[in-house]
A and B are shown apart, each in its own frame.
Chain A
Amino acid sequence: MEDFGSPALRRLLEAHPAAVLATHAQHGDATALVDAAQVVELMRWLRDALGFEMLIDLTAVDHLGRAPRFEVVYHLYSIAHNQRLRVKAGVPESPCQIDSVAELWSSANWMEREVFDLYGIRFRNHPDLRRILLYEEFEGHPLRKDYPKERRQPLVGPRN
Chain B
Amino acid sequence: MAHVRSLDDDLEKDLHTEHQVLNMGPSHPATHGTVKFLIELDGETIIDLDIAVGYLHRGFEKECESGTWYQAIPYTDRLNYNSAILANIGYCLAVEKLLGLETPERCQWLRTLAGELARLADHLTRCGAACLELQAMTPFLYGIEARELTWDLMEMLCGARVTSNYVRIGGVKHDMAPSFPGVCRAHIAKIRPLLRDYEEVVTRNRLFVDRLRGTGMLSKEDCLRYAVTGPLLRAAGVPLDLRKDQPYLRYADVDFDVPIGEVGDNYDRYLVCVEEMQQSLRIVEQCLAHLERLGPGPVNVDDPRVRWPAKGRVFNAMEELIQQFKAVTEGPLVPAGEAYQAIESANGELGFYVVSDGSAVPCKVRCRPPSLLNLQPMPLMLRGALLADLIPTFDFINMIGGECDR
Contacts and interface: CB of A to CB of B under 8 A. Distances in A.
A82 B247 CA distance: 12
Contacts of B20: none
A62 B377 CA distance: 29
Contacts of A133: 53-54, 57, 405-406
A110 to B, nearest CB: 5
Contact of B353 (A53, A57, A62, A143): A57
B376 A106 contact: yes
Interface string A28-45: 010100000000000000
Nearest to B342: A56
A53 to B, nearest CB: 5
B366 A57 contact: yes
B97 interface: yes
Nearest to A86: B340
Interface residues of B, number: 42
B340 A142 contact: no
Nearest to A160: B23
Contacts of B118: none
A62 B337 CA distance: 14
B61 A143 contact: yes
Contacts of A134: 54, 57
Contact of A57 (B222, B368, B406): B368
B293 interface: no
A110 B372 contact: yes
A134 B405 CA distance: 9
Nearest to A61: B364
Contacts of A31: 338
Interface string B361-376: 0011010100011001
B23 A79 contact: no
Interface string B60-80: 011101100000000000000
B227 A54 contact: yes
A107 B227 contact: yes
A86 B161 CA distance: 36
Contact of B355 (A61, A79, A84, A131): A61
Contacts of A61: 355, 363-364
Nearest to A64: B363
A26 B94 CA distance: 13
B57 A79 contact: no
A107 B373 contact: yes
A75 interface: yes
Interface string B346-363: 000101010100000001
Interface in B134-156: none
Contacts of A135: 54
A14 B238 CA distance: 31
A26 B339 contact: yes
A106 B340 contact: no
Nearest to B238: A79
B225 interface: yes
A131 B53 CA distance: 10
A97 interface: no
Contacts of B405: 133
Counting from the closest, the 8 A-B pairs by CB-CB distance are A107-B227, A133-B54, A57-B368, A133-B57, A59-B366, A106-B225, A53-B224, A27-B339
Given A106-B225, A106-B377, 17 more contacts: A26-B339, A54-B227, A57-B227, A57-B366, A57-B368, A59-B353, A59-B366, A59-B368, A73-B353, A75-B351, A79-B240, A82-B245, A109-B376, A110-B373, A132-B53, A149-B62, A149-B63
23 contacts: A26-B337, A26-B339, A29-B340, A31-B338, A53-B224, A54-B227, A55-B227, A57-B227, A57-B340, A59-B364, A59-B366, A75-B368, A79-B238, A82-B245, A84-B340, A105-B225, A107-B225, A110-B376, A132-B53, A134-B54, A135-B54, A143-B62, A149-B59
Interface of A: 26-27, 29, 31, 53-57, 59, 61-63, 73, 75, 79, 82, 84, 86, 105-107, 109-111, 114, 118, 131-135, 142-143, 145, 147, 149, 160
